[in-house]
Structure 1
Amino acid sequence: MPSSSQGSLKNTVARATNRSALMGAIFLMATSAIGPGFLTQTAVFTSKLGAAFAFAILVSILIDIAVQLNVWRVIGIAGQRAQELGNTVLPGLGWVLSALIGVGSIVFNIGNIAGGGLGLNAALGISPVLGGAITALLAIAGFVVKKLGNLLDKLVVVLGALMIVLTVYIAFRSSPPLAEAAINTIAPEKIDLVVITTLVGGTVGGYITYAGAHRMLDSGETGPEHAATVSRSSISGILVTGVMRVVLFLAVLGVAASGARLEGESNPAAAAFSYAAGPIGLRIFGVVLFCAALSSVIGCSYTSASFLVPPRAEFLTRQNIITIVFIIVSGALFLTVGTAPAKLLVFAGAFNGLVLPLGFTLILYIALFRGKDLLHGYRYPKYLIVLGVVALVVSWALAWFSFKGVFELLS
């Protein structure tokens, strides 16, 4: 084969690989934000607040838009991971951020593995403990077997799409009061700051903030010349996440509005699916929960490991090893306790809500004051800075006002 043809083939393969990585980044962000903790939080809080929970969903989506547009833009233009940027701005800051994210990630991953076990139990009837072990092993296989590892991006896309389709079916069956939900979206009957902070932390904060952006770096689509691609990818991820949040809320709201009591259920999300569609609803819940769990284990472990190594090809093997160790540790802790205590999961979400403004302050500082060096002279859009500052003020306010409430959750 002529050398020109070989070069053309290599370029085609490279472009396909980059597109796959970008799609993986989009869905990695989305599926990380809609893991088992989010399913549980949505069922619990919808049961508690009813249609008024729509306002919390709206706030979380708006904060997500402002945060992710800026995080993807800064990390994508700089071509560096968050901890590298942090250490450049202030030596040691990146490692502090890594440590804070690691604390929440370990707890969340225990919950993710436990969620996978519960999902397989609901879908297939196998033991939750065995199901959790299977979930962890499948995630590990993705980082051990090279051929399977190359399919991880596609797997995350398939899992995310399947979750949305099945949840749309449940939402259709539950017949939610759409008018009431729409009114409460902008004029809520009740506002609960702890609920909002916990939801934001569980869907935007912690490792979730950086999951998609860090994966995007692997695509090579970085630097000022790829700003448009970075922007489109972040918007796509936000849309996928927002759709899933709204659809799941409506599915549970329809059940709650019908008079079903979810508060006393040991698994309110499973109960909601069962009320909506009977025995098949429970099976569907199992599949959705397993998809959410497996994709979240992959996203949580990958992102946590990415905070410990630079995004360069020579460190890929080291990052995979750290990722596998992270899954093994989380799996061992899950097998030791047998489950993830509900209060611990709620605390992890709330804790991530407190971590969110710390890391986001770094991102906005770079956008405002380090454009010439860290962003390679890129002229940062003013509207993104305005959106970011508003989101930062809101996230700090939520963290401040809910600080006491977070610890009351554990009492």
Structure 2
Amino acid sequence: MSERNAAVPGPETVASGAVGFVRARRASLLGAIFMMATSAIGPGFITQTATFTATLGAAFAFGILASILIDFVVQANIWRIITVSGRRAAELANAAVPFSGYVLAVLVIFGGLVFNIGNIAGAGLGLNALFGLDAKIGGAVSAALAIVIFIVKRAGVVMDRVMILLGLVMIILTVIVAIVANPPIGEALTQTVLPDVIDFAMITTIVGGTVGGYITYAGAHKLLDSGVSGVEHAEQVTRSAFTGIAVTGVMRYVLFLAFLGVTASGVTLDLAGNPAGDAFQAAAGEIGLRAFGLVLWAAGISSVIGAAFTSVSFTTVFSRRIDMRVRSWITVGFILFGLSVYLVLGTTPVALLVFAGGFNGLILPLGFTIFMYIGWFRRDLLNGYRVPKWLLISGTVVTVLTWYMGIMSFTGIFAFLAA
């Protein structure tokens, strides 16, 4: 065979390359789905759900429904707009409204830092429930493991697989505990649409804990870094967003039912200590406590990774010199900073986790307003792509709603930190 012929790939090579590309693209989409899902169901959401279910009972089902619907609208718009444009959120915001991207980046990075302190705290609480390890030592161990995942070679592939595995572990264990808890499903379904009471601070907090701050952009930025961008991927990206949100929606409601079953049976949760752990232990004894430890640790470490990855991805708006290698080291510093603050902080992990969700809920309307403006009026930034009107209309309604909830709950959210 001549050198010329040898250089030309045969049909088998081309087919193999195509299959490899499809598999890599599928893995990237799954990784993005589970990064968004595990970030949305992190220690903050788990702790917030336990706390608010103990406070409101079945009426909190309305808050869960509101968070799911808002999540659907926000993520479907954000994933589509960012991937179609091919630009990260802050860069796209700057192009639409000068300097707004810098403001958004600062808020998201700060919100991510706050949340990551809580994520590390949650991972520490998880290891405490699983092995009896001191929560601060557990937080340090978890942060170190997250750093290792970032600095190893082929970190992107490792991250995708870790996110998928941890997500599956969380889902399976939570479903088992929810079944054992035997919640009053009929009452929960009724109060999902006809609640006895509506608390805007709690709804804003749970929304912030599931789709606020960095979580809004986690999946979309993961897709960009995996090479998924352009108008041709718009429909595929939206389907992936809906799949991820459907998974997280079911998971959120199942988790709520698990806590509701425990509180409805008359068990009082220690809201200042570890309410979610109390609920799992009450439902399934010592095995339940260990299962909770594994769920919370999986949620914690995956959220540490998601928060650090997404928050640091916003730093590129400040300098073109921040490439993937520099971002990796900034990410390590981001995690270490969060760990340091957690180790010296006097605030309890539970109070911090609840406050972090509320703070990120306050960030949500600002960023989403910019993206709604882009969707409606700046098709030039979307390569001529027209976002479906039903998405834009529903997005506009959600924008107004999140601004209203943020204004109504501002004082109440900061009160959580003092609790």
TM category, shorter: over 0.9
State how far apart, in whole Å, the 2-side matches of 1:35 and 1:48 are.
20
Report SS of the residue matched to 1:4: coil
The aligned counterpart of 1:17 is 24
1:361 aligns with 2:366: no
Residues 116-265 of structure 1 correspond to what in structure 2 (within 5 A)?
A: 116-147=123-154, 149-263=156-270
Moved more, 296-305 or 328-337: 328-337
Q: Does residue 352 of structure 1 match 2:357?
A: no
Q: Do the aligned partners of 1:21 and 1:216 also contact (CA within 8 Å) in 2? A: yes
Count of aligned positions: 410
> In 2, Cα distance between the equivalents of 1:159 and 1:341?
21
- 1:92 shift after superposition: 1.7
8 Å CA contact retained: 1:141, 1:148: no
Between 1:187-196 and 1:13-22, the stretch displaced more is: 13-22
Contact 1:47 1:263 in 2 (8 A): no
Q: Which amino acid aligns with 1:358?
A: L
Alignment partner, residue 336 of structure 2 = 328
Deviation at 1:2, TM superposition (A): 5.3
What amino acid maps onto 2:353 in structure 1?
Answer: L
Inter-CA distance 366–148: structure 2 relative to 1 (3 Å threshold)? closer
Letter in 2 for 1:27: F
Cα 1:314–1:343 shift into 2, 3 Å:
closer
Structure 2 residue 105 is matched with structure 1 residue 64: no
TM-superposed CA distance for 1:335, in Å, is 2.2
Please say if 1:50 is aligned against 2:57: yes
TM-aligned CA deviation for residue 408 of structure 1: 3.3
Quote the Cα distance in structure 1 between the aligned partners of 2:200 and 2:293: 30
Letter in 2 for 1:304: S
Are the equivalent residues in 2 in contact too, given 1:108–1:348 (CA < 8 A)?
yes
Residues 181-207 of structure 1, C-alpha deviations (whole Å, 9 max, x = no match): 000001001111111011111111100
Q: Give the deviation of 1:340 after TM superposition.
A: 5.0
What 5-or-longer segments of structure 1 have no aligned partner? Answer: none
CA distance, structure 2, for counterparts of residue 329 and residue 147 of structure 1: 24
Amino acid at match of 1:243: V
Paired residue secondary structure (1:166) = helix
Secondary structure of 1:189's partner?
Answer: coil
Structure-1 separation of matches of 2:93 and 2:107: 13
In the aligned structure 2, how far is the partner of 1:269 from the partner of 1:78?
A: 40
In structure 1, the residue corresponding to 2:140 is in which secondary structure? Answer: helix
Task: Report the Cα distance in structure 2 between the residues aligned to 1:386 and 1:221, rounded to whole angstroms.
Answer: 26
The aligned counterpart of 1:4 is 9
Assess, with a 3 A threshold, how the Cα gap between structure 1 residues 74 and 264 changes in structure 2: closer, same or farther: closer
Q: Deviations over 1:32-90 (max 9, x none)?
A: 01111111100010000000000000011111011111001100111111000111112
8 Å Cα contact 2:114-2:356 kept in structure 1? yes
Bigger Cα displacement from structure 2, 101-110 vs 26-35: 101-110
Distance change in 2, residues 1:236/1:312 (3 Å): farther
Is the CA contact 2:85–2:382 (under 8 Å) kept in the aligned structure 1?
yes
**How many Å separate the matches in 2 of 1:388 and 1:105?**
23
Counterpart residue number, 1:40? 47
| Aligned counterpart, 1:316 | 324
Query: Equivalents in 2 of 1:379, 1:86: separation in Å?
Result: 18
- Which residue in the other structure is 1:278 paired with? 285
Task: Name 2:119's counterpart in structure 1.
Answer: 112
Distance 2:187 2:156 in 1: 45
Larger deviation: 294-303 or 18-27? 18-27
CA contact (8 A) 1:347 1:409 kept: yes
Identical-residue share of aligned pairs (%): 54
Judge conservation of contact 1:77–1:375 (CA < 8 Å) in 2.
yes
Moved more, 121-130 or 237-246: 121-130
**Which structure 2 residue ranges, 5 or more long, are not aligned?**
1-5
The normalised TM-score by structure 1 is: 0.95
Mapped to 1, the partners of 2:125 and 2:348 lie a distance apart of 11
Match of 1:342 in 2: 350
In the superposition, the TM-score normalised over structure 2's length comes to: 0.94
Determine if contact 1:116/1:132 at 8 Å carries over to the other structure: yes
